[in-house]
Structure 1
Amino acid sequence: MKKKVNIGITLGDPAGIGAEITLKALKDKKLRESATFLLIGDYGTITHLQRQIGTSFNFHIISDIGRLSLSEEMINFINLGNITYNIPYGKIDARCGKSAYEYINMACLILRSQQSLSGLVTAPINKEALNLAGHHFQGHTELLAQRFNARYVRMMFTAENLKIVLVTIHIPLKDVPIAVTKKAVQDTIFTVHRTLNTYFKIKKPRIAVCGLNPHASGGGLFGDEEKKQIIPALINAKKQKINVQGPFPADSLFWKAKQGEYDVIIAMYHDQGCIPIKTLYFNKGVNVTLGLPFIRTSPDHGTAFDLATKNKADPGSMKEAIKLAVEMAQNKPRDRKKKKIYVPIKKRTR
């Protein structure tokens, strides 16, 4: 019997589809019963939304507590009560960026206290709104890395049998060749190997590495990053008995992984890895942050402002993100000792 795990879900930018896709995903009874869930957001926005999308959940509301006590029979909800304004649905707004940040901040407080959360799923936020609110991060990945002092975080995108991990994340394309260093590639390989072994139960992951340049430089005709940075990293990883191959031309490698030849692909930069998976699995893809001291997944899409309040948002990617967080948490070895610290949560007046 699989162990019961506790999963936190932040509801994202209030002007987008985060709350909608979360509630739609949890309509799946099998998914709902697979874990104990804790939603973090503003409860005042939920009543109208439930009527609109046809859900009727009864929540265990947590609004003024010193001890985090989760119900296993109901969906738990930490009510921050921080939306005291009319939500400008479908628009970028600093107030929404602030609310979204506060949801994430509460999740971080709980995770840092080592309370009972096994993992975190984050609904989409808007990067511009976040920055307008004074929180200068490029997204969830960088924010969580800073909060937990995680130096070597990596983004993984996964759907069905395709897994893609990025060496570099949100940087200008002109800066990528400088950032693709032997150390960066090597750290990525080690992180990927450890993650797939621990959370996906793949004992010897078959790792394939993309080249940076066209045709993986064509033997030096189109650049030398492969020779100077990528190949030395692969040599070092192989010395540690890691099953890694490459660098391969990126234009054909993803098809081979899709056919089952490899367990994971390491791509050098954002669009090299994201275009294939978003083309094939736009409503199924999941973003996983590797290198954090906890499990974090999210749907592989944004706030979809154009769909806000229209009851047209597809919850498929969110559903897959929740499923994967539960699966990874169930696969994680149990902690022998778990320190428990209680976090006081101040109730906000509406």
Structure 2
Amino acid sequence: MKKNILITMGDPAGVGPEITVKVLSSLKDPPYLPIVVGDVNVLKKAIVMLRKDLKIKEVTLPFKGEYAENEILVYPLSDLKNIEFGIPTIEAARESFNYIVHSVELIKSNLASGVVTCPVNKELICRSGKDFTGHTELIAELCNVSSYVMMLLGATLKVSLVTRHIALKDVPKYLSYENVLLTSEITYKALQRDFGIRCPIVAVAGLNPHCGEGGLFGEEEERLIRPVVRHLREKGWDIRGPFSADTIFYRAKNGEFHAVVSMFHDQGLIPIKLLHFSDGVNVTLGLPIVRTSVDHGTAYDIAGRGSADHRSLEMALKVAHEILCNREVSEKGWSLPT
């Protein structure tokens, strides 16, 4: 039986509904069963806007039916009447939050296998009365997980982040031996379990120019990062570095490493966006459930025009299915190296 993968529709006024319809209209007998968690009225509006010959089939879970190429399976959670694409509202933002929470609960109840999330508006969700800093943090909290990692990936590069959404001036004080160690460990284990790489090679980036030039430009490499690499190598893990950020991503892209551990947000996301602007994927590592996401925002400025690029969502679905299959193999098949 095919695994159910939920797609949260994202902010109803953004490009989420549009890219969802585009992807689902192009699928030809996928190896998984995509089910949209969202709003029927909004999806119908997107179908009309895109002039697609699609029907919507409302479902409950567990769903044991078959996939049909002219149907979109929808688990309806909201009933929005007056949503206009490109015009964000607090009501729509509140519903986008509910899509996420309900999807995680469905997976925890074994009614679905994984979730792919479309973009939401953090500011409006907070203004709706919800405590929300982002998908990653919310889903980790719902799963009772305190140790997790944000990875961004494309076909040629995988990057994990030690620090995420903090001011650049605060990065050095948030970096610690423990944070670098945890990110490196979770990344290494996820490459094995989630991506089926039995003996991963992980490169760790430095923080400062030229990795600090022996302390001339900063001491974080010698004080925090190199000791982590040394510790993990002593365990037999192929962790390398620290390497200067001006060369490490080029080397990874050319196949020398399976993933890079980056010290801060833009250090890792600039190369990902450069190489995979349209088809990058966000993956939360370290969760008991599978969660991937598009690597872009709500794009209100183009919502409703039919021009939104759906390739990131298409790739996020493929990656979610890949992770589900690899986890099944690792749990039932060969044992992972320690």
Give matches, 1:142-153, under 5 Å.
142-153=137-148
Q: Partners in 1 of 2:87 and 2:229 — Cα distance?
A: 45
Query: Which of 77, 87, 103 is matched with 2:74 structurally?
Result: 77
Task: Confirm or deny that 1:227 pairs with 2:225.
Answer: no
Partner secondary structure for residue 307 of structure 1: coil
Deviations 1:208-237 (A, max 9, x none): 000011111111111111111111111221
Task: Confirm or deny that 1:176 pairs with 2:171.
Answer: yes
Query: Which of 87, 96, 101 is matched with 1:105 structurally?
Result: 101
Task: Confirm or deny that 1:10 pairs with 2:8.
Answer: yes
Deviations 1:112-154 (A, max 9, x none): 2122x22110011111111111122221011111111211111
Q: Partners in 2 of 1:48 and 1:249 — Cα distance?
A: 49
Deviations 1:252-310 (A, max 9, x none): 11111111111100100101000111122110101111111111111111111111110
Provide the residue aligned with 1:251 in structure 2: 246
Q: Partners in 1 of 2:209 and 2:235 — Cα distance?
A: 28
Provide the residue aligned with 1:186 in structure 2: 181
Query: Which of 25, 41, 50 is matched with 2:38 structurally?
Result: 41
Query: Which of 311, 315, 321 is matched with 2:316 structurally?
Result: 321
Partner secondary structure for residue 187 of structure 1: helix
Q: Which amino acid aligns with 1:311?
A: G
Provide the residue aligned with 1:68 in structure 2: 62
Contact 2:78 2:95 in 1 (8 A): no
Measured after TM superposition, the shift of residue 88 of structure 1 is: 4.3
Q: Partners in 1 of 2:65 and 2:174 — Cα distance?
A: 46
Partner secondary structure for residue 161 of structure 1: coil
Q: Partners in 1 of 2:67 and 2:308 — Cα distance?
A: 27
Q: Partners in 2 of 1:132 and 1:184 — Cα distance?
A: 31
Query: Which of 303, 307, 315 is matched with 1:308 structurally?
Result: 303
Partner secondary structure for residue 332 of structure 1: helix
Length-normalised TM-score, structure 2: 0.93
Q: How many pairs were matched up?
A: 328
Provide the residue aligned with 2:56 in structure 1: 59
Q: Partners in 1 of 2:89 and 2:49 — Cα distance?
A: 23
Length-normalised TM-score, structure 1: 0.89
Partner secondary structure for residue 270 of structure 2: helix
Q: Partners in 2 of 1:6 and 1:140 — Cα distance?
A: 20
Measured after TM superposition, the shift of residue 33 of structure 1 is: 2.2
Measured after TM superposition, the shift of residue 206 of structure 1 is: 0.8
Provide the residue aligned with 1:90 in structure 2: 86
Q: Partners in 2 of 1:247 and 1:144 — Cα distance?
A: 31
Provide the residue aligned with 1:216 in structure 2: 211
Contact 2:193 2:326 in 1 (8 A): yes
Q: Partners in 1 of 2:64 and 2:268 — Cα distance?
A: 38
Deviations 1:50-75 (A, max 9, x none): 1221323333313xx5x533422344
Greater relative CO (CA pairs within 8 A, separation 6+):
1
Partner secondary structure for residue 232 of structure 1: helix
Q: Which amino acid aligns with 1:90?
A: G
Q: Which amino acid aligns with 1:71?
A: G
Q: Which amino acid aligns with 1:23?
A: V
- Unaligned runs of 5+ residues in structure 1 are 337-350
Query: Which of 230, 236, 243 is matched with 2:231 structurally?
Result: 236
Deviations 1:82-134 (A, max 9, x none): 424x224323421121010111111022022122x221100111111111111
Q: Partners in 2 of 1:107 and 1:171 — Cα distance?
A: 27
Contact 2:14 2:88 in 1 (8 A): no
Partner secondary structure for residue 261 of structure 1: coil
Provide the residue aligned with 1:344 in structure 2: none
